[in-house]
Amino acid sequence: MSRIPTLADLGDVRGKRVLVRTDFNVPMENGEITDDFRIRAALPTINWLTERGAQVVTCSHLGRPKGQPNPKYSMDPVRARLGELAPGVELLENLRFDPGEEGNDPAFVAKLIEGIDMYVDDAFGACHRAHASIVGPPLTLPSAMGLLLQKEVEVLLGLRNDPKHPFVAVLGGSKISDKLGVVEALLRVVDSLVVGGAMCFTFLAALGNPIGDSLFEPDQVDTCKRLLEQSKASGKTIHLPEDIVGVDAQGNFATFGTRLPEGAKGFDIGPGTAAAFSDVIMDARTVFWNGPMGMFEDPRFEAGTRTVAQAMADTKAFTVVGGGDSAAALAQFRLDDEVSHVSTGGGASLELLELGDLPGLDALRKAPNA
């Protein structure tokens, strides 16, 4: 596996037209950008290139226009904001206005790189997709990963390949089936797994606990049994909740043990569990967190997620958060600056942890300058 070229591997960029694949998939409301974080996040790479005399042409997708031009997903507002932050930098129209982007059509790649000398990928969140703008340009152009992508790769492959122990993975969110691959990959490298969120009910059910009407996946019970047995055999701990917060059959807020009464629904880990999970996080040297501990969007059920987020902020461990909703929770509690790294790619970060590679990284590794 050859290395992935970095910006320095582009050589002299002076006078070169460099296509930068960015992630400008910004949140919009009524045609206005509500948060320009992703545009600002691209500036280090853009400035690195322009300061060295390159002419930068950026490109991105925005929303899901499904291969057709649609004014609702026009790049105009992004282009205006980019013009303020990085004058003179160009931005192509929404890549997904053309079906060739998602279809990885060579003719679309050819159109994209017309008049372009070099390619930089700084769109981590799109690297798990073999789309034209991700895997096409490195086939022929000298290419590199941008600074954002480089950081993601270093952090996430570092977790996979060389974590400081104890290494703890904290998992939550809605479905174990969505995350089974990454759970199995993590179990190979972590010392312990902490499980909250809706997925904990499938584990609790696998241990024979009644879980009331909580969200769970009956077809994953056997998988959870196997994971529990496997981890036991390999000397790893899977920490499960010891108390649960939710509503009883009448819909009233209630705290339960691990055996839920009929008709009850669990929506968060309980206070005892949150404290126990925090202790595990405080004692770790590396922590990866994906998936909220409960339905944190409802203030009645945010406490578990908030306590875990606070432990992530307080621990001396190297802390990494991946996943759209986990990152949103962290931002809601204003703790996003208190962890070591918040990954910008939801699906991409889990896939990189699971497989150790992504289509976009593989393409860069095969670039002519690599």
DSSP code string of 311-359: HHHH-SSEEEEESHHHHHHHHHTT-GGGSSEE-S-HHHHHHHHHHS--H
| Residue from the set 6, 55, 104, 174 that interacts with ligand ADP by CB under 6 A | 174
| Residue from the set 325, 339, 348, 363 that interacts with Mg ion by CB under 5 A | 325
Provide the β-strand partners of residue 143. 119
Q: Shortest Cβ contact with ligand ADP: which residue? A: 173
The interface partner of residue 315, options being ligand ADP, Mg ion, none and the CB cut-off 5 to 8 Å by kind, is none
Nearer to ligand ADP by Cβ, of 46 and 206: the residue is 206
**CB-based contacts of 311, cutoff 8 Å, min separation 6:** 277, 278, 281, 282
- Token code pair at residue 49: 């290139």
Contact by Cβ (8 Å): 293, 274: yes
The beta-strand segments (E) located in 31-159 are: 32-33, 55-59, 90-91, 118-121, 143-145
Is 197 among the residues that bind ligand ADP (CB under 6 A)?
A: yes
User: Which of these ranges, 60-68, 159-167, 171-179, 362-370, lies near ligand ADP under the rule CB under 6 A?
Assistant: 171-179
Is 319 among the residues that bind ligand ADP (CB under 6 A)?
A: no
Is 181 among the residues that bind ligand ADP (CB under 6 A)?
A: no
Interface with ligand ADP in residues 11-70 (CB under 6 A): none
HSE-up of residue 258 (Cα within 13 Å, Cβ side): 17
Contact by Cβ (8 Å): 320, 289: yes
Nearer to ligand ADP by Cβ, of 294 and 359: the residue is 294
| Residue from the set 60, 258, 286, 326 that interacts with ligand ADP by CB under 6 A | 326
Is 347 among the residues that bind Mg ion (CB under 5 A)?
A: no
Q: Write down the least CB distance from residue 289 to ligand ADP, Å.
A: 9
User: Which of these ranges, 110-118, 133-141, 287-295, 358-366, lies near ligand ADP under the rule CB under 6 A?
Assistant: 287-295
Q: Write down the least CB distance from residue 173 to Mg ion, Å.
A: 6
**CB-based contacts of 198, cutoff 8 Å, min separation 6:** 172, 173, 174, 175, 214, 215, 216, 266
Q: Write down the least CB distance from residue 266 to ligand ADP, Å.
A: 5
Is 215 among the residues that bind ligand ADP (CB under 6 A)?
A: yes
Count of residues making up the chain: 370
Interface with ligand ADP in residues 257-276 (CB under 6 A): 266-267
Report which of 338, 307, 10 is spatially closest to residue 144, judged by C-alpha positions: 10
In which residue are the tokens 């507002």 written? 77
Where does this chain bind ligand ADP (CB under 6 A)? 172-174, 197-198, 215, 266-267, 290-292, 294-295, 297, 323-326, 346
